[in-house]
Structure 1
Amino acid sequence: MDHFLYRDGELYAEDVSVRDIARSVGTPFYCYSTATLTRHFTLFDQALDGMDHLVCYAMKANSNQAVLRLMASLGAGVDVVSGGEYARARAAGFDGDKIVFSGVGKTREEMRAALSGGIRQFNLESEPEMHRLNAVALELGVVAPVTVRVNPDVDAKTHEKIATGKSENKFGIPIARAREVYAEIAKLPGLRVVGIDVHIGSQLTDLEPFRQAYRKVADLTRALRSDGHEIIRLDLGGGLGIPYERTNTAPPLPVEYGAMVREELGDLGCEIEIEPGRLIAGNAGILVTEVVYVKHGEGRDFLIVDAAMNDLVRPAMYSAHHDIVPVIEATAGAEQTPYDVVGPVCETGDTFAKQRNLPALAEGDLVAFRSAGAYGAVMASEYNTRPLIPEVLVRDDQFAVIRERPSYEQIIARDIVPDWL
């Protein structure tokens, strides 16, 4: 469910007309709903009700400071994967004991920043990282709380570029070697084991891969405890998918996911951490764009819009689907026209949809790409010297620009020309 609905024939974000926002900030722009973000976080929190748990928002999905402040105000923890994301989390008001640091390539500088500023845990991904973190912690005279990310070799049955739990993926330590690695950690004075970490991928639409992975984690928990390790926390990652297409089938709900977690892990007495990002932010955002031209090509019509692959790269990178709807609602029974929906970037890959059936549209019409709140703005670039587009947050009947569109002058001014040119 989201809060982008038609009212009196036009699309609204909560109680704000999307067309009014477009008039104010120009197109293209991202628009997020506070009510939807809040609801989706709350659904996850309630799904684990009765278990000791922390929902850590995966900020890589959408890291705008306003979105992060909202998550912090709701009591969320946060999952970060870089020094920059750690800095964003602290700036947004997250306490160190609510920040989980994931990622396969943590640098010494990032480790120092997190150990100095406060950290809930590091999710270790490799033995070299384990030894590096131990050395940094000893330099600072502290002990780093850690889990080890285990790779359970489970097929998440998702897009190959966002699968992370198979043996050929770069993530984690093979689960078969976990006891050996934990034994090594126990010898390192700068590290303190607090739990186990696992994450098998993103946009999962079936609970069975989760179940398979969590059963392996449960067995490992018992084995590690028998080895003398204190396992008090299980970080289960994120990955639950969202319905990008309005079809009769939908991914599992958070409440169904929570029930499965109880079934597989509830008897272990561990605190449960989960790291949802896409399901919290994805359907909480839309990308609004204007039709620049309708071009009649050889056997097909092109809807050329002012958004491009640099603004929303998911279709070009993953062949991802986003529902596309007109901001002014089509009349009931209106004839549909197949369009290739494309942007102005000089690449054929700048294509959002091929032969998508839409109501007849004309130059100047507004359309919205649904489910664009996750991995949209955060993956955007200034390719073709196209400015990053505004982000707007709506709450009830008001909206605020939470990231402005830079001018060409501001973009160019970041370049530095050496004095010998």
Structure 2
Amino acid sequence: MLYGRLDYQRKVRALDHFLYRDGILHAEDVPLSEIAASVGTPAYVYSTATLERHFRLFDEALEGMPHLVCYAMKAASNQAILKTLAALGAGMDVVSGGEYARAKAAGVPGDKIVFAGVGKTEAEIAQALAGGLRQFNVESESELQAISRVASEMGVTAPVTIRVNPDVDAKTHAKIATGKSENKFGVPIARARGVYAEAAALPGIEVIGIDVHIGSQLTDLAPFEAAYLKVAELTETLRADGHKIERLDLGGGLGIPYERSNTAPPLPTEYGALIKRTVGHLGCEIEIEPGRLIAGNAGILLSRVVYVKEGEGRRFLILDAAMNDLIRPAMYDAWHDIVPVIEPEPGQERASYDVVGPVCESGDTFARAREMPQLREGDLVAFRSAGAYGAVMASEYNSRPLVPEVLVKDDHHAVIRARPSFDEMISRDSIPEWL
């Protein structure tokens, strides 16, 4: 077991372009200390090589069958990231009108944009129909009727897949599970035949396939297999009913190793083999929508130690990054490896820290009793695997400026979202005339 885990870690680290060189943690060929000096902290830093490599892993995993890898851009939606992936041929999975606009602005053609989400408004439906899209992933009968109504008024036909809820336990965090019967997503698979019959009778609708997505951060292939076998059976049933099922959208959700010491999620190659085994015989075009695994290990959050504080029976490491910059630990009790930018000497003494930020809430805690190399005020640290659901969920809580983003390629780096000044933040407010 130990050998298998270490072998997996080697594979993972080979795909991660944040490595120590000459005693300093680098992003590709750029020292993180250099980025901290020029951009300041906290800041998100992304590796182009890692983004590209992770996309190609999924694309290659489905080689031999018609497919499109649609990046789930809710994971990280900066224009520079979208353009990097679009240049490789990626489609985009969007869940709002804003994300649709971002995808189009990044140069992604409409026929590579899948529009998902449970609450599409009629304005968003019209926006996508006017700008072009690959399909709507429909979540309910009410949404189906709304799409039909808008498409008919516009004189166009809307391509749709219907998202079925297979009632499969993804065995992931409750807040990111989407495939159980109590979740808000999709149509119960037991009602699928009736919903497809309704769709076929509606004007302005063209049914082209089936959609399924059971959750995020899955570290076991068994739930995927259970869901995809149900989709395969439904495909045969719907075809027998006379429906044209040409496309299967299998969602995303494959997890990443946040805690590298003891996690070993499946590799994309194993995931691809599962897809071929369970639905490959159906002759459908396959779509998958990875987000976390493409962006997660491609980004780190760079921060600096402000104070080391001795408490009652514990030691606090107070950083300049806070829960408004990276909310995953506060929201999901998520683990991120936190490492010093200056490589520790072999055998260096370690200490136990509660790693916290400066926001005035006890929830602003990244880790409790975390064993780390001893650190001092002014030292730089990096939160690994922070590229997904980091910057996109950041806020300006406590009037802290929105965290900037930096993209690295080889030995170059560029600010792809600047840190706003206090004046810029305040100028967005409007004062009523009576004040």
TM-score tier by shorter-chain length is over 0.9
Note the alpha carbon deviations across 1:281-340, whole angstroms, 9 max, x for none: 000000000000000000000000000000000000000000000000000011110000
Note the alpha carbon deviations across 1:133-157, whole angstroms, 9 max, x for none: 1000001000000000000000000
Q: Which amino acid aligns with 1:329?
A: E
Q: Secondary structure at the match of 2:372?
A: strand
* Alignment match, 2:134: 120
Name the CA distance, whole Å, in 2 between partners of 1:98 and 1:194. Answer: 15
Note the alpha carbon deviations across 1:146-193, whole angstroms, 9 max, x for none: 000000000000000000000000000000000000000010111000
Question: 1:247 deviation in Å?
Answer: 2.1
Q: Which amino acid aligns with 1:235?
A: D
* Alignment match, 2:343: 329
Q: Secondary structure at the match of 1:346?
A: coil
Q: Secondary structure at the match of 1:186?
A: helix
Name the CA distance, whole Å, in 1 between partners of 2:141 and 2:33. Answer: 53
* Alignment match, 2:24: 10
Q: Secondary structure at the match of 2:201?
A: coil
Please list, as runs of the form range in 1=range in 2, the aligned pairs for 1:50-199 lying within 5 A after superposition.
Answer: 50-199=64-213
Name the CA distance, whole Å, in 1 between partners of 2:290 and 2:335. Answer: 20
Name the CA distance, whole Å, in 2 between partners of 1:76 and 1:13. Answer: 23
- Which of 290, 297, 312 is the aligned partner of 2:326? 312
Q: Structure 1 length as normaliser, TM-score?
A: 1.00
Q: Which amino acid aligns with 1:141?
A: G
Mapped pair 1:388 → 2:397? no
- Which of 59, 74, 79 is the aligned partner of 1:45? 59
Q: Secondary structure at the match of 2:358?
A: coil
Name the CA distance, whole Å, in 2 between partners of 1:50 and 1:327. Answer: 42
Please list, as runs of the form range in 1=range in 2, the aligned pairs for 1:235-384 lying within 5 A after superposition.
Answer: 235-384=249-398
Q: Which amino acid aligns with 1:374?
A: A
Q: Secondary structure at the match of 2:85?
A: helix
- Which of 19, 26, 50 is the aligned partner of 2:40? 26
Question: 1:393 deviation in Å?
Answer: 0.3
Question: 1:246 deviation in Å?
Answer: 1.2
Question: 1:248 deviation in Å?
Answer: 4.6
Q: Secondary structure at the match of 1:210?
A: helix
Question: 1:43 deviation in Å?
Answer: 0.2
Name the CA distance, whole Å, in 1 between partners of 2:168 and 2:21. Answer: 45
Name the CA distance, whole Å, in 2 between partners of 1:283 and 1:382. Answer: 24
Instruction: Point out where structure 2 has 5 or more consecutive residues left out of the alignment.
Output: 1-14
Name the CA distance, whole Å, in 2 between partners of 1:180 and 1:128. Answer: 14
Name the CA distance, whole Å, in 2 between partners of 1:361 and 1:408. Answer: 30
- Percentage of matched positions with identical amino acids: 74
* Alignment match, 2:244: 230
Name the CA distance, whole Å, in 2 between partners of 1:115 and 1:102. Answer: 14
| CA-atom RMSD in angstroms | 0.5
Q: Which amino acid aligns with 1:187?
A: A
Aligned residues: 421
Q: Which amino acid aligns with 1:393?
A: L
Q: Which amino acid aligns with 2:114?
A: V
- Return structure 1 stretches of 4+ with deviation > 4 angstroms: none
Note the alpha carbon deviations across 1:68-96, whole angstroms, 9 max, x for none: 00111000000000000000000000000
* Alignment match, 2:420: 406
Name the CA distance, whole Å, in 2 between partners of 1:258 and 1:185. Answer: 30
Instruction: Point out where structure 1 has 5 or more consecutive residues left out of the alignment.
Output: none
Name the CA distance, whole Å, in 1 between partners of 2:84 and 2:169. Answer: 34
Q: Secondary structure at the match of 2:392?
A: helix
Question: 1:249 deviation in Å?
Answer: 3.9
Note the alpha carbon deviations across 1:177-222, whole angstroms, 9 max, x for none: 0000000001011100010000000000000000000000000000
Name the CA distance, whole Å, in 2 between partners of 1:139 and 1:332. Answer: 69
Name the CA distance, whole Å, in 1 between partners of 2:321 and 2:39. Answer: 14
Name the CA distance, whole Å, in 1 between partners of 2:178 and 2:151. Answer: 28
Q: Which amino acid aligns with 1:344?
A: P
